Amino acid sequence: MKKTQSPIGLDEKKAAALAKKLNLLLASYQLLYMNTRGFHWNIRGEKFFELHLKFEELYNNFQIKIDEVAERILTLGHTPMHSYSDYLRHSSIKEVTKLTEGKDCVASILKSFSAVIASQREILDLSAEANDEGTNALMSDYIREQEKLVWMYSAYLK
């Protein structure tokens, strides 16, 4: 049986599996974006100015990642999810409402990073098996950046 190839020369079955996992990551990033945007708007208390700016940095970064992940799915020859009902149904991150305390917001972000990093490691393994350097590089960059953020935000909570 002859293997079919994706538009960029990857095994089509492996590309499809990657696109499926990337769509799940896309859903998680959308929820992480919305949660962090809500934290930015609703933060209260002593650390308002500091966290208000940090949350804005984060959600702007997530917005870029959302676009990059969706474009990678398209590059693999598949369609990114694009409805909020799909995001809510498939995200490994749950919707967060009514958090205004800085430490609670940071703890929520750390929990979300844990889920996202785990998903990205899984995608990293799949992309290595598929010889997909583009997805591999993207996930590797995200993981390295987010591991540092986990360290920093964890230090904030101590």
As a dihedral over the C-alpha atoms of residue 74, residue 22, residue 97, residue 40, rounded to 10 degrees, the angle is -70
Question: The domain spanning residue 62 has which CATH number?
Answer: 1.20.1260.10
Interval 90-106 mean pLDDT? 96
Full residue range of the structural domain in which residue 53 is found: 12-157
Residue 22 in contact with residue 55, Cβ under 8 Å?
Answer: no
With respect to residue 2, please indicate whether it lies within any of the assigned structural domains.
no
Interval 56-84 mean pLDDT? 98
DSSP 98: S
Single pTM value for the model: 0.95
From the CB of residue 31, how many other CB atoms can be counted at a distance below 10 Å? 23
> What are the tens digits of pLDDT across the range 31-55?
999 999 999 999 999 899 999 999 9
With respect to residue 4, please indicate whether it lies within any of the assigned structural domains.
no
What pLDDT does 7 receive?
85
As a dihedral over the C-alpha atoms of residue 86, residue 68, residue 5, residue 116, rounded to 10 degrees, the angle is -60
Round the average pLDDT of the chain to a whole number and report it. 96
Length of the chain: 158
With respect to residue 139, please indicate whether it lies within any of the assigned structural domains.
yes
What pLDDT does 76 receive?
97
Interval 93-118 mean pLDDT? 97
Q: 1: pLDDT confidence band, cut at 50, 70 and 90? A: low
The total of structural domains in the chain comes to 1
What pLDDT does 3 receive?
72
Interval 72-92 mean pLDDT? 97
Q: 2: pLDDT confidence band, cut at 50, 70 and 90? A: low
